[in-house]
Chains A and B, each alone.
Chain A
Amino acid sequence: QQQVKQSPQSLIVQKGGIPIINCAYENTAFDYFPWYQQFPGKGPALLIAIRPDVSEKKEGRFTISFNKSAKQFSLHIMDSQPGDSATYFCAATVSSNTGKLIFGQGTTLQVKP
């Protein structure tokens, strides 16, 4: 019940494409859903986060879509660039303790020039 399942494991898109990464959770107590970006040799960096009271959130080229009834959420990267090539992790937790994150398995994204 604590798992967060992420797909796909890897993704290759052309520059300007819109990669979509999907996650599903089971624990209905989760109410904070962040996405992290990780480059090789670095720690994860917070990209964007959403709470279940909204169905969509945009920050720059990054959009989270959230479906509370299906317990699923996804990350869309608009106008993807080669610099977006990285590993992306979704996570879930309770908003009262956002330091205790349950991470998905990660998606390695390659954006080709």
Chain B
Amino acid sequence: ETGVTQSPTHLIKTRGQQVTLRCSSQSGHNTVSWYQQALGQGPQFIFQYYREEENGRGNFPPRFSGLQFPNYSSELNVNALELDDSALYLCASGDRGRGYTFGSGTRLTVV
């Protein structure tokens, strides 16, 4: 176990729906980053949260949003799902300046 837990592991949604993915980080890690990994590609940075505030965003539209909570858990919300949103979504927790630990991800399929 990596200490970073993501739920659910798999999810199927219909185009246009909304989805919430969850991540439980290691205690003491004040930063969480979310990534999207399309099949056969490297992970792409979506955004990062530091002490419950968004702290950097990649090239993703506003329908991708997030939250970080005081208990080190976080959420990734995606509105108006599109077929191209089908991917593995990864969260990673750590401290800035050091290595980050990834969870096993949530496999989202949009049909």
Contact = CB atoms under 8 A, between A and B. Distances in A.
B41 A106 contact: yes
Interface of A: 6, 34, 36, 41-46, 49, 89, 91, 95-106
A44 B43 contact: yes
Contacts of B33: 99-101
B51 interface: no
Contacts of A6: 42
Contacts of B4: 43
A106 B94 contact: no
B104 A43 contact: yes
Given A45-B2, A103-B42, A105-B42, A98 B96 contact: yes
Nearest to B44: A103
Interface string B85-111: 000001010101111111111000000
The majority secondary structure among interface residues of chain A is mixed
A104 B97 contact: no
Interface of B: 2, 4, 31-33, 35, 40-45, 48, 55-56, 58, 90, 92, 94, 96-105
A38 to B, nearest CB: 9
B42 A98 contact: no
Contacts of B92: 43, 99
Contacts of A45: 2, 102
A46 B99 contact: yes
Contact of B96 (A36, A42, A91, A96): A96
A46 B100 contact: yes
A101 B56 CA distance: 11
Nearest to B33: A99
B88 to A, nearest CB: 8
Contacts of B94: 98-99
Given A45-B2, A101-B45, A106 B97 contact: no
A43 B105 contact: yes
7 contacts: A36-B102, A42-B105, A96-B96, A97-B48, A98-B94, A106-B40, A106-B41
